[in-house]
A and B are shown apart, each in its own frame.
Chain A
């Protein structure tokens, strides 16, 4: 996908397309998970599209992002290919990680996507490290670490932000406050009014923005990027948003009621952004229908691609552990296969 920015009409349409793509991708992923075609478990980004898309709209294509367990939206916002993403979710050899990562570990380091992450709060240290490389090699990039509201309570997040601010690294930390850390409301996990308040302790800017407004997120990240590139260090941004689905698919959500979900849907990020583009004469209803149909076709293609792609050969389980392979693993890769799979044991 092309680079995009929130500052031009074409860029705004691309932002809308990506938000729609995320919603369609995750809606579809939810269905195939329920059907049992997608193994494991999935965390869907539906409702939070404006945050990932707004953030990536303000980044340059070769900037880095470090993601979370709820990472599909970040991937699409960053420009990853839905086909290879869906293939990864289906556990196929053609997926981004050759079927070794799945939903929680999709990554494309060459595209600047340092991985979804199954550990809450692990993204910020990764972003600080990428920013260290950027700074050390004098590159013209920034690294943005996404984290959820739950991750703000993690010690390693504090360590990462403290280091980045102490060293004036070109990093941005973006808290997606979707109101729940797994099944516990944000006010039962934190005492601060705003999750950006801790920025004071690091002497860096801390801003809280409307995470249902893609433009507001993009403007905050744009400002943060300028500051980072100027050598002034990181910014802590909190985007107030909401996840429409459970923490994971299948979550029965006893912790909230339908009325609350409905209230947030009244300010749906896609609906409101679309409305503004129509009001400004940048989009007609017909064009929107066309865009939606196009997105649906893209995701249908992605599913078809994923369904038809090959599963990895069992012996590929032994690949990719090391750059320089070790005999401890090689012996398993090398042994004759008669049953189509190895069930353990040692042939040394």
Chain B
């Protein structure tokens, strides 16, 4: 079933990605008293990119908790808190700050459950922003989700639409595993239909076919979902493009991607992370392993060409992958 088909059966409201995430947080805070938010400036200030917004007013400082600027400390505290019976939702202001807190993520949060023989749950959610496009330069524009998707013991999701932003955030909070929600900062204002049912979630590990097509499969994430859909529309008549948003990077819905590639025989993978050793390579490999004899052309990758995100607009636009890059990739193999 496509995402659009499933949405038709439910009540929806038009909202932005930012509003959809905030609604998800609000609903989960109301639903479960053990859920609380912690992070830098998430309270009265409402979050530096205004995602937590007015939640502080409804839930107060215990449940929308401002932390010191201590990413290692609060990531570690969230880990200890999750191991002992609460469900923290951490906001890591920019995903670049992951570096500061990586020890707690990779050696504690990711490993505790396994090292202890399954004798603890780790119901922690980490929300963080990624991506270039606003001149935030190299230390506030990174796309690092491949680190987390690569590291065993962690789950990684990356919404590309308002509906999946809401559904994935809620699924992450309800999960007993550590789930990282990677929000691309350039799509916070993007609008779409979002189910209003408080029980609506997007299961972790399920891709969505956002557009049906017969000729080329484009697997796109985050901002590139919308841009790939626009590209697909503009190519309609010449090339019939199928667009899949994996939504969940780990676990990855291999079946949906493989099924599509078997149909089209052509694959483009579009993800803003750096090209080498990452998401593109993983998706391409799975397609190769499972649909090798269906492939009619070399798999194409669209991503950041292994540079950091530069500051000056012409430089930033040069390296930032976009819908035009997707078009060129499609045309190379169509």
A contact residues vs B (CB 8 Å cutoff): 64, 66, 95-101, 105, 107-110, 114-115, 117-119, 122, 124-134, 136-137, 143, 155-156, 158-160, 162-163, 166, 319-324, 326-328, 346, 348
Given A107-B115, A163-B67, the answer on whether A130 and B83 have CB atoms closer than 8 Å is: yes
| 5 A-B pairs with C-beta separation under 8 A | A64-B84, A98-B117, A321-B152, A327-B251, A348-B290
Who on chain A is nearest to B290 by CB?
A348
Question: Are the C-beta atoms of B177 and A322 separated by less than 8 Å?
Answer: yes
B50 CB to closest chain A CB (Å) equals 25
Binds A, one of B39-47, B70-78, B269-277: B70-78
Residue of A118, A119, A143, A162 contacting most chain B CB atoms (<10 Å): A119
Q: Does B261 contact A (CB under 8 A)?
A: no
Shortest Cβ-Cβ A-B pairs, 9 listed: A129-B80, A125-B76, A159-B73, A320-B118, A98-B117, A323-B176, A97-B117, A326-B251, A159-B70
Who on chain A is nearest to B78 by CB?
A129
Q: Does B121 contact A (CB under 8 A)?
A: yes
Question: Are the C-beta atoms of A66 and B80 separated by less than 8 Å?
Answer: yes
A347 CB to closest chain B CB (Å) equals 9
Who on chain B is nearest to A119 by CB?
B107
Contacts of B108 in A (CB 8 A): 117, 119, 122, 125-126
Question: Are the C-beta atoms of B114 and A328 separated by less than 8 Å?
Answer: no
Contacts of A346 in B (CB 8 A): 289
Question: Are the C-beta atoms of A160 and B76 separated by less than 8 Å?
Answer: yes
Question: Are the C-beta atoms of A323 and B121 separated by less than 8 Å?
Answer: yes
Q: How far is the CA of A130 from the CA of B79 in the complex (A)?
A: 9
Q: Does B204 contact A (CB under 8 A)?
A: yes
Could you tell me which residues of chain B, from 159 to 213, have a CB within 8 Å of some CB in chain A?
175-177, 204-205
Residue from A96, A115, A119, A132 within 8 A of B103 (CB atoms)? A119
Contacts of A158 in B (CB 8 A): 73
Question: Are the C-beta atoms of A109 and B153 separated by less than 8 Å?
Answer: no
B329 CB to closest chain A CB (Å) equals 24
Q: How far is the CA of A30 from the CA of B74 in the complex (A)?
A: 37
Question: Are the C-beta atoms of B73 and A162 separated by less than 8 Å?
Answer: yes
Q: 16 more A-B contacts (CB under 8 A) besides A129-B80, A137-B85, A328-B250?
A: A109-B83, A124-B76, A125-B104, A129-B82, A130-B83, A156-B73, A160-B76, A162-B70, A162-B73, A322-B153, A322-B155, A324-B177, A324-B204, A326-B205, A348-B286, A348-B289
Question: Are the C-beta atoms of A327 and B254 separated by less than 8 Å?
Answer: yes
Q: Mark B77-95, 1 if CB is under 8 A from A, else 0.
A: 1111111111010000000
B contact residues vs A (CB 8 Å cutoff): 34, 36, 62, 67-68, 70, 72-86, 88, 103-104, 107-108, 112-122, 152-153, 155, 175-177, 204-205, 250-252, 254, 286, 289-290
A163 CB to closest chain B CB (Å) equals 5
Question: Are the C-beta atoms of A105 and B116 separated by less than 8 Å?
Answer: yes
Question: Are the C-beta atoms of A126 and B117 separated by less than 8 Å?
Answer: no
Who on chain A is nearest to B171 by CB?
A324
Contacts of B77 in A (CB 8 A): 125, 128-129, 132, 160, 163
Who on chain B is nearest to A124 by CB?
B76
Contacts of B68 in A (CB 8 A): 159, 162-163, 166
Q: How far is the CA of A34 from the CA of B68 in the complex (A)?
A: 46
Question: Are the C-beta atoms of A130 and B81 separated by less than 8 Å?
Answer: yes
Given A118-B107, A119-B107, the answer on whether A320 and B114 have CB atoms closer than 8 Å is: yes
Residue from B62, B80, B153, B252 within 8 A of A130 (CB atoms)? B80
Contacts of A134 in B (CB 8 A): 84
Q: How far is the CA of A152 from the CA of B324 in the complex (A)?
A: 52
Residue from A95, A100, A115, A125 within 8 A of B72 (CB atoms)? A125
Q: How far is the CA of A137 from the CA of B34 in the complex (A)?
A: 8
Q: How far is the CA of A322 from the CA of B251 in the complex (A)?
A: 11
Given A129-B80, A162-B70, A324-B177, the answer on whether A101 and B121 have CB atoms closer than 8 Å is: no
Question: Are the C-beta atoms of B114 and A122 separated by less than 8 Å?
Answer: no
Contacts of B204 in A (CB 8 A): 324
Q: How far is the CA of A324 from the CA of B153 in the complex (A)?
A: 11
Residue of A158, A162, A324 contacting most chain B CB atoms (<10 Å): A324
Question: Are the C-beta atoms of A97 and B119 separated by less than 8 Å?
Answer: yes
Who on chain A is nearest to B70 by CB?
A159
Question: Are the C-beta atoms of B118 and A133 separated by less than 8 Å?
Answer: no
Contacts of B289 in A (CB 8 A): 346, 348
Contacts of B34 in A (CB 8 A): 136-137
Q: How far is the CA of A24 from the CA of B289 in the complex (A)?
A: 54
Contacts of A163 in B (CB 8 A): 67-68, 70, 73-74, 77
Contacts of B176 in A (CB 8 A): 323-324
Who on chain B is nearest to A346 by CB?
B289
Question: Are the C-beta atoms of B72 and A155 separated by less than 8 Å?
Answer: yes
Question: Are the C-beta atoms of A129 and B117 separated by less than 8 Å?
Answer: no
Question: Are the C-beta atoms of B115 and A136 separated by less than 8 Å?
Answer: no
Question: Are the C-beta atoms of B86 and A136 separated by less than 8 Å?
Answer: yes
Question: Are the C-beta atoms of B86 and A137 separated by less than 8 Å?
Answer: yes
Q: How far is the CA of A110 from the CA of B84 in the complex (A)?
A: 9
A309 CB to closest chain B CB (Å) equals 14
Question: Are the C-beta atoms of A133 and B86 separated by less than 8 Å?
Answer: yes
Contacts of B62 in A (CB 8 A): 136
Residue of B83, B177, B289 contacting most chain A CB atoms (<10 Å): B83
Q: How far is the CA of A227 from the CA of B62 in the complex (A)?
A: 21
Residue of A107, A126, A137, A160 contacting most chain B CB atoms (<10 Å): A126
Q: How far is the CA of A327 from the CA of B73 in the complex (A)?
A: 32
Contacts of B286 in A (CB 8 A): 348
Contacts of A119 in B (CB 8 A): 103, 107-108
Contacts of A98 in B (CB 8 A): 117-118
Question: Are the C-beta atoms of A115 and B116 separated by less than 8 Å?
Answer: yes
Q: How far is the CA of A326 from the CA of B179 in the complex (A)?
A: 13
